A and B are shown apart, each in its own frame.
Chain A
């Protein structure tokens, strides 16, 4: 286990170095002068020069790079030009909102996805299987933000069951928080259900064909018992990896879905920075999300190695 951990951590570190280098390099992609791109045409040369200084663009490239790594190592992602405050502080303040949305969506997606996958696998090649697979494919073809708008139309505007947007902090009122989060989390989760259902089905089919399952069947155990108690625990192991894969899509999707439901998370921060070309927020936000994603996947991989010892040797 020690070797596995060291190898995995070293790999994650290397990717982290590259990811931060890429986030830094983003500013080179800006055509022309980034400072001038942020300020409008009426800005005086002095104002542009001042902003260049603030962004560190007047330094040489090695100096800029050294400064960037020095700052991010101490957790400083720079100052937002627009908000005039620390990017790190703004991101950390919004992280719980985005993470809780993604976590709730993940819970929805895993619950419905695994249930659908089991139903499909148990009824292999019969109509429930085909119904689940067709629905899964449809789910993979629906744009998440559009689904969110349609949900608002149906459940908020027409039926009036749930709020159409807005956000109540959990600590202020857990009930209101949940009411506000149901539609966004469903929207975000449903898009992933199809993917998880496909994986769960494949994994379950694989497990159901194992000898020990046949033995359990043969000794006369109830079918439901065999599926849920004998097959499911082993079939769930590959699903763990899926959680790692899906977390990236969920974080990205959360950025978009927050926009639909006016939820003040990291997504709104980043989207707000697009129109104003607030480069430190764009660079910092992107890097921050990548770090969260890498952390989630590191945890998932370690958990996987704990439940399935074969992985440690691979």
Chain B
């Protein structure tokens, strides 16, 4: 990146003046707050059935209606946000670590470039959602395995982005300067090069977070997601499918919650990209 790096206040100022970022941050913070404080916010016990209120349409008591067990959909969506956002966040962390390591090593050490990137190419040849589905099914569906499956599907692209930035960065003069005063290669890579790769990486991981929420929902929908009784956005929709005609609200509201999260993250990512990584703008 050219010019003085943006730090501290200057960075925040530019970010907050970016409309995408501002809207994205608000949406994401609201959803994260709901997920964290779900235990206190839920109007009803999300697991408690109430036969007298089966398939009730949205009203003053149940804002999002109830399901076939009479469970409150709003409460279930709030608890579901916790699972879905946690899966998204852990996937972003795991794909971030794996993608940074493999991409940085491939970009910095020329001899390892081809082997690592061909493996990433091969992983990218699988339709990512099917890859995640099959890996999760083979490992056995659990929260951890879903995160591993989603990280495997999102790491290659992350590695590619990190590698591209490292390739650009390692040709800079300050790297040659560091090497000339005897700084070790690994130190140069991890202390100097990677610091300047942070921009594109953070942007990418915001999108990975969004992609993982969408993918987790799809996985749950086809039965390769975290097992019941875990309620995630996807599993609530999957259960609501059998009652689409009588009770469409079971399906509709969790979907809107997914859109709110993913849209928020995408806006956040677009804003970060505009400010941190102007090269990528289109």
Contact = CB atoms under 8 A, between A and B. Distances in A.
Interface of A: 14-15, 18-19, 22, 26-27, 29-31, 37, 137-138, 140-146, 149-150, 152-153, 157, 198-199, 201-202, 248-249, 251-253, 255-256, 259, 270-271, 273-275, 277, 279, 282-283, 285-286, 289-290, 293-294
A241 to B, nearest CB: 13
A137 B266 contact: yes
16 contacts: A15-B122, A18-B119, A22-B123, A26-B138, A137-B266, A137-B270, A140-B266, A142-B262, A146-B255, A149-B255, A153-B248, A199-B282, A248-B124, A285-B134, A289-B130, A290-B127
Contacts of B266: 137, 140-141
B262 A274 contact: no
B222 interface: yes
B138 A293 contact: no
Contacts of B131: 286
Nearest to A22: B122
B223 A145 contact: no
The 6 A-B residue pairs with the shortest CB-CB distance, nearest first, are A252-B127, A18-B122, A146-B255, A252-B129, A202-B282, A141-B263
Nearest to A146: B255
Contacts of A146: 217, 237, 251, 255, 258
A279 B138 contact: yes
B255 A150 contact: yes
A143 B263 contact: no
Contacts of B234: 143
B257 to A, nearest CB: 10
A134 to B, nearest CB: 10
A141 B209 CA distance: 12
Nearest to A248: B127
Interface in B229-282: 234, 237, 241, 244-245, 248, 251-252, 255, 258-259, 262-263, 266-267, 270, 282
Contacts of A152: 244
Interface of B: 118-119, 121-131, 133-135, 137-140, 210, 214, 217-218, 221-224, 234, 237, 241, 244-245, 248, 251-252, 255, 258-259, 262-263, 266-267, 270, 282
Contact of A256 (B138, B222, B248, B255): B222
B251 A149 contact: yes
Interface of A is mostly: helix
A17 to B, nearest CB: 8
B218 A145 contact: yes
Contact of A274 (B122, B129, B133): B133
B31 to A, nearest CB: 13
Contacts of A294: 125
Contact of A289 (B123, B127, B251, B282): B127
Given A29-B135, A248-B124, A271-B223, 6 more contacts: A143-B214, A150-B252, A256-B221, A271-B222, A274-B134, A274-B223
User: Which of A143, A150, A253, A277 has the most chain B CB within a 10 Å cutoff?
Assistant: A143
A302 to B, nearest CB: 17
B217 A26 contact: no
A141 B248 contact: no
B191 to A, nearest CB: 33
A193 to B, nearest CB: 15
A297 to B, nearest CB: 8
Nearest to A273: B137
Contacts of A198: 282
Contacts of A253: 129
Given A146-B237, A149-B241, A259-B222, A29 B139 contact: yes
Contacts of A201: 282
Contact of A31 (B135, B140, B241): B140
